[in-house]
Amino acid sequence: MYTQSQQALLDQFNALRSWEDRYRTIMRLGKTLPRIDDSLRVDEALLHGCESKVWFHARKHQQGVELTVDSDAKIVKGLISIIVSAYQDLSTAQIAKFDCENFLIELGLLNHLSPSRGNGIKAIIQAIKDTAQE
């Protein structure tokens, strides 16, 4: 069972016929992700394992995890937007149980990424799960 945000993403991507349509949608979603403040674009916030620069800030609170994530690559920004939406409104227990990699496969995305880009996405997902478990 998926949240409303997750189901909306599934519906949106399942309606697309080709990888090119999915790619355009990812790029469009990347434009909706706010650019983080330059003061947060510090080396300490860079995630290792990502092909592109990905700045990751997360804060655990009673309701879940607040995510502030950005990248210097447009396609990665789009994928981040999808991941952040998928984790939106989840409790820390739900974050621990949610299989985001499988969700990205269901969206028809993970199997189209290069191995290094896929590893970067897995690093983002792991960082979210690690924050939720702190």
Q: Return the pLDDT at 49.
A: 84
For the stretch 48-79, pLDDT in tens is 888 899 999 999 988 889 999 999 999 999 99
pLDDT over 90 at 134, yes or no: no
**DSSP conformational letter for 96:** H
Taking the complete model, does pTM exceed 0.85, yes or no?
yes
Kindly state the average pLDDT of the residues 95-122.
93
**Vertex 107 angle, CA 3 and 122, to 5°:** 90
Q: Return the pLDDT at 1.
A: 82
Q: Return the pLDDT at 28.
A: 97
- Does residue 49 contact residue 97 with C-beta atoms inside 8 Å? no
CA distance 68 to 119: 20
For the stretch 87-104, pLDDT in tens is 998 999 999 999 999 999
Q: Return the pLDDT at 62.
A: 83
3-state secondary structure of 68: strand
Domains by residue range for the chain, with CATH: 4-133 (3.90.1010.10)
- The string over 75-109, giving b where at least 16 C-beta atoms fall within 10 Å of a residue's C-beta and e elsewhere, is ebbbbbbbbbbbbeebebeebeebebeebbebbbb
Is 100 among the catalytic positions?
A: no
CA distance 74 to 22: 14
Q: Catalytic one among 9, 26, 33, 50?
A: 50
Q: Return the pLDDT at 50.
A: 80
**Phi then psi dihedrals of residue 58, to 5 deg:** -145, 145
